């Protein structure tokens, strides 16, 4: 379980991978293995959530990090690289580094 | 505050808008207004979170809906359309409809 809040001042990575639908499940497996074997053990990693698009053409990782420096230190670590390199043979990668600016709830639970 | 969980079986919309950095703040305002005045009042809306990229070139909305039908019913409602039409004069829109397949926590808090 992951919580999103604008008060947490975390860095958010939203990385969108575009893939042929026949390769979507394989890509999910590669990204899960990269995360389980390496990324989630890195200092400053808070959480990540892996999403598959219902049309089969995308896989998106939504990740929270304590700060930009911790994320960049992880990217310099070669351990997850084999899985990510294999992922990039079957997928295009569009990264994004964000901060939360606002969040919205239904009528009666304004944040 | 928003909670992400693969057990919730929600539909996730991750909509990435690409924008000139000089228009990023205006785009954030338009998407916030569309959500506040209309989208968050729709049946089946669970939550949404608005993100701005640190490089100024993207704005991404991460939204949770009860199911696809509720989301599509909202999209047929003309109320948020003026804000969204104005947004599309300054931004490119890449939509994605997802389900959560896995989530990851640091070492000692495996989910």
**Does the pLDDT value for residue B106 go beyond 50?**
yes
Phi-psi region of A29 (alpha: psi -120 to 50; beta: other; left: phi over 0): alpha
Q: What angle do CA B15, B21, B22 make, to 5 degrees?
A: 120
Nearest to A16 among B16, B47, B52 (CB): B16
Q: Note the pLDDT of residue B9.
A: 84
CB contact under 8 A, B41 and A107: yes
Task: Tell me the residues of chain B between 47 and 86 that have a Cβ less than 8 Å away from chain A.
Answer: 47-55, 58, 60, 62, 68
Give the pTM: 0.90
CA distance A62 to A40: 13
Residue numbers in B near A60 (CB within 8 A):
14, 96, 98
CB contact under 8 A, B98 and A60: yes
CA distance A18 to A8: 29
CB contact under 8 A, A100 and B6: no
Q: Note the pLDDT of residue A2.
A: 67
**Does the pLDDT value for residue B2 go beyond 50?**
yes
Q: Note the pLDDT of residue B111.
A: 43
10-residue block means of pLDDT along chain A (111 residues)? 70 97 98 94 96 98 96 88 92 96 81 43
The percentage of chain B sitting over the pLDDT mark of 90, rounded to a whole number, equals 79
Residue numbers in A near B32 (CB within 8 A):
101-102, 104
Nearest to A1 among B68, B107, B111 (CB): B111
Q: Are strands A91-94 and A97-104 parallel, antiparallel or unpaired?
A: unpaired
Nearest CA in chain A to B36: A104
Nearest CA in chain A to B58: A96
Distance from CA of A107 to the nearest CA of B (A): 6
Asked if B2 and A3 touch (Cβ cutoff 8 Å), the reply is: yes
CA distance A35 to A7: 25
Mean pLDDT of B40-69: 97
Nearest CA in chain B to A37: B107
ipTM value, please give it.
0.89
Q: Note the pLDDT of residue A6.
A: 65
Nearest to A3 among B3, B41, B58 (CB): B3
Query: A96 touching B, CB under 8 A?
Result: yes
Beta bridge partners of B103: A49
**Does the pLDDT value for residue B98 go beyond 90?**
yes
For residue B53, count CB atoms less than 10 angstroms from its CB and return exposed for 0-12, middle for 13-18, buried for 19 or more.
Answer: buried
């Amino acid at each position: 379980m992951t919580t999103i809040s604008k008060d947490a001042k975390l860095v958010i990575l939203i990385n969108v991978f575009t893939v042929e639908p026949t390769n979507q499940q394989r890509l999910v497996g590669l990204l899960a293995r990269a995360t389980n074997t390496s990324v989630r053990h890195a200092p400053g990693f808070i959480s990540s959530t892996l999403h598959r698009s219902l049309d089969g053409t995308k896989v998106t990782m939504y990740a929270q990090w304590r700060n930009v420096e911790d994320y960049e230190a992880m990217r310099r670590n070669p351990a997850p690289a084999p899985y990510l390199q294999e992922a990039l043979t079957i997928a295009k990668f569009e990264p994004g580094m964000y901060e939360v600016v606002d969040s919205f709830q239904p009528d009666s639970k304004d944040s």
